[in-house]
Chain A
Amino acid sequence: MTDGPGHRPRLSTAALLAPAAAAVLAGSLSWAAGHPPAAPLTKPAGTASPTAGQTAAERARQTRDLQRLSNEVQSLRAELKNLDDSPHPASTRGTARPTAKPKPARTTPPPVQATTGAS
């Protein structure tokens, strides 16, 4: 069986749009990473200046939010990488992907402020 006459153009459009969409998504993520959502671009008129304590508290909250989001991004990236690294059925891939070399694991633990263990 052969493809119908309209099939090839549709595939070509998809092939063009997919990288473009990926580029837009990547650009959006990159921009979002540099712009914390809680930080306004301009200060609204008539807004009272926050006190030093409020500013510090807000900054601490934003730092925590950023850390939490960063953790989530790391987790999602790891999940995505696992999906990419997992073998795909041959029927869904035109050519076999090269096997990614495993990254060497970091052997020394990062610094810690406390431990949890023997009770």
Chain B
Amino acid sequence: MTFPAMASRVTLRVVDPGPAASDALAAARRVFERVEAACTRFDPQSPLMRANAHRTAWHAVPDECYLAVAEAARAHLETGGLFDPRVLDTLVALGYDRTLPFRSGVSLTGAGRASAVRVPAGTAPWRPGLDPESRSIRLGVDRIDLGGIGKGLAVRLAAQALAGTGGGHLIEAGGDCHVAGHGPGGDAWQIGVEDPAGDADPVAVLRIADTGCATSSLRVRSWRVDGTTVHHLIDPRTGRSADGDLLSVTVLDPDPARAEVWSKSLLIAGRERIAGLAARRRLPALWVDESRRVATSAAMAPYVIWTAPDAT
């Protein structure tokens, strides 16, 4: 089953499906629809954007929005602020205020767009109000974007919907995946890591089972603003597109939302810090630097079954 959601193409697949698989696939698809409706920033009437519009007030929101904000707050603490959803105003200032046709190439102009940035972090940690009883949130000073973590959360919830409905399953949504059980050949799943430099062949192939997998990459969501190339992964320390000499970072974690958080945070951390940070956190991580060289953490090495000969 393939369908568009959350500005990505989503694929759901159950191998050796049992009798409940068909209903589970439909339920998993509805998960993506619900998370998108609750967390989109492109609809001013979405629960997220209503909370963004009145940030000092409490808002009762759907479960999916509440969970995404709670997950974002947890991730903000766990990553020491590298993950920070308070980048919405920067993205909007850079012209990413609507779905843009990135694959066709986007070039925007506007006086001062490239320099109109906000630096939310470094001033104070983000601590949104969360009331689990009433599923209410209060966002505080800055507007937030839940794009990436919303997708990771959708993959997590979809994986729960598909669990045990067949011999194995695959969920693929943009850079985020989850695999369980066995693949079509009765073996583990083999997942290609896309070449962020644009080559059709992957830069590496992973053999994985029962895990989430997320990649943050500059490959697609990059555009030009007043002649300067920018992308959607904003470094909260500078308020600008991350410039850490990394093209993409892939992370494995049983929880797809956590894999999404750390792939983004390690990319923002940059080439100088990524090896140490991944080692300290024992994260299975694979990264591609600006020279298109592939490197991995020790925890990732057992999963890598192939690396492009010209990328090592």
Contacts and interface: CB of A to CB of B under 8 A. Distances in A.
Most chain A CB within 10 A, of B8, B176, B184, B215, is at B215
A72 interface: yes
Contacts of A111: 190
A112 B191 contact: yes
Contacts of A108: 201
| Interface size range of chain B in the complex | 35 or more
| Interface size range of chain A in the complex | 20 to 34
Given A75-B302, A113-B190, A119 B215 contact: yes
A67 B210 CA distance: 12
Given A119-B174, A119-B220, A106 B306 contact: yes
Given A113-B183, A116-B176, A117-B193, 20 more contacts: A60-B181, A63-B182, A63-B186, A63-B187, A68-B209, A72-B302, A75-B302, A108-B201, A109-B202, A109-B306, A113-B170, A113-B184, A114-B179, A115-B193, A116-B175, A116-B191, A117-B217, A119-B148, A119-B151, A119-B217
Nearest to B215: A116
Contacts of A109: 192, 201-202, 205, 306, 308
A109 B195 CA distance: 12
Contact of B250 (A75, A110, A112, A116): A116
Contact of A116 (B187, B194, B301, B308): B194
A71 interface: yes
A42 interface: no
Contact of B192 (A56, A114, A118): A114
B182 A64 contact: yes
B1 to A, nearest CB: 13
B69 interface: no
Contacts of A117: 175, 192-196, 202, 215, 217, 219, 248
B118 interface: no
Interface in B161-183: 167-168, 170, 172, 174-177, 179, 181-183
B189 interface: yes
A45 interface: no
Contacts of B170: 113-114
Interface of A: 56, 60, 63-64, 67-68, 71-72, 74-75, 105-119
Contact of A67 (B167, B177, B207, B301): B207
A57 to B, nearest CB: 9
A9 B209 CA distance: 52
B56 interface: no
Contacts of A107: 309
Nearest to B16: A56
Contacts of B216: 119
